[in-house]
Amino acid sequence: MLKSNALGIMNQMWAAHATSDAEAVAIAIEETLLAEELGFDSVWIGEHHNVRPGARFYGRIPASEMFLAHLAAKTTRIALGTGVRILSTTPPQRTAEEMSLLDLLSGGRAEFGVGLGSTPDVKPGDPAREAKAALFRGLLTEIVAHLSGTAGGAPISPAPAPDLAARIWAAARDQATLAHIANAGINLVVGQAELPPIQAAIVQAYRAAGGTGLVRGVRLVFVAESHAVAMRDADEALALYLGQMGGKGYHSEAIAKGLLAADPRTLEERALGVNFIIGSPEEVAGLLNDYVAATGVDRLDLMVQVPGLRTDAVRRSMALIQHAVKPLLKRAAQPAIA
């Protein structure tokens, strides 16, 4: 059974061009083992495709279930999730079969974030985006039917666990898809990219449509012993992240809506503008508590691996999150059904 107030790690598997695929994978394996040792509830692995020559960094895992199966053999307790599986890349039956097999291999620890994939050059309301969202809804319906045994024809193998469909988390923003997942009893995930006011509206729309599932929120976090040390150690990572994400996509949308200043005056303001929380344990806990209160999310998943951060700094940050930040976090309120 899914629980609220869980604290997980979201790993997009981003790495700079100088980092080899083998090195990126080895580091991720080590940090998953550390996450389990430290007591995190879950680890989520992002799905990304193709080398991106013009980007400062790019994701290295095109098939997250395969990597998660490897992690399942090395761990015993921690939940393992896709973050997110792009449904349009495989037929629904194949997707459902892979979900069921991963859940079997992990001993029932699998969870599945699903989505339609990024559309950086397509604005909300664009017919192309609407068509892609409609495709996503259709694929999701078929997957749930296969998992619940209502698809018709021969059942899939291996047989899905009875609660497997209840462990699906959909990344959604448009009203039609939010209503669809609410009606289907599917959980919601809101990602790293949007500001809290935008995410709050998404969560409220999901609840208003009758959504009774849990809501996961994702934030990018780096913690150090003091504010000064955190800003110093995150300097290169922040520059890389701002260079890749700043002024584009959801960030430019937030500026256009007046939610962000176009020219922030301080480095801290620039970091918060791209939802990168950097600071001491007390500062980070305060900002995460504000985020939960503003959005109404039930669970937090923290992105701690960012290109430009030293490996030892990432692991120190993970330990501080568990030992110094987590005790200061307030429990999320129970889902409020509108």
pLDDT tens track for 181-206:
999 999 999 999 899 999 999 999 99
Mean pLDDT of the chain: 93
**In contact, 275 and 193? CB cutoff 8 Å:** yes
What share of the chain has pLDDT > 70, as a percent?
91
- Give the pLDDT confidence of 229-283 residue by residue, as tens digits: 999 999 999 999 999 987 666 656 666 666 656 677 788 988 988 999 999 999 9
Mean local confidence (pLDDT), 14-27: 98
User: Domain for residue 215, yes or no?
Assistant: yes
- Residue 18 in this model has a pLDDT that exceeds 70: yes
- Residue 109 in this model has a pLDDT that exceeds 90: yes
Res 123: pLDDT: 60
> Residue 137: pLDDT band by 50, 70, 90 thresholds?
very high
User: Domain for residue 271, yes or no?
Assistant: no
Containing structural domain, residue 41: 7-221+281-307
Sign of the CA dihedral 193, 278, 196, 38?
A: positive
Alpha carbons 226 and 13: distance in angstroms, whole number: 27
User: Domain for residue 128, yes or no?
Assistant: yes
Res 336: pLDDT: 39
- Residue 328 in this model has a pLDDT that exceeds 80: yes
- Residue 335 in this model has a pLDDT that exceeds 50: no
User: Domain for residue 119, yes or no?
Assistant: yes
Res 337: pLDDT: 37
Res 334: pLDDT: 46
User: Domain for residue 96, yes or no?
Assistant: yes
> What are the two backbone dihedrals, phi and then psi, of residue 65, each rounded to the nearest 5 degrees?
-60, -35
User: Domain for residue 235, yes or no?
Assistant: no
Res 272: pLDDT: 87
User: Domain for residue 54, yes or no?
Assistant: yes
Mean local confidence (pLDDT), 149-175: 97
Res 255: pLDDT: 60
- Count how many domains the chain has: 1
| Residue 160, preceding peptide bond in cis (omega within 30° of 0) | no
Res 254: pLDDT: 60
User: Domain for residue 62, yes or no?
Assistant: yes
- Residue 35 in this model has a pLDDT that exceeds 60: yes
Residue 36 belongs to a domain with what CATH number?
3.20.20.30
> Residue 127: pLDDT band by 50, 70, 90 thresholds?
confident
- Residue 338 in this model has a pLDDT that exceeds 80: no
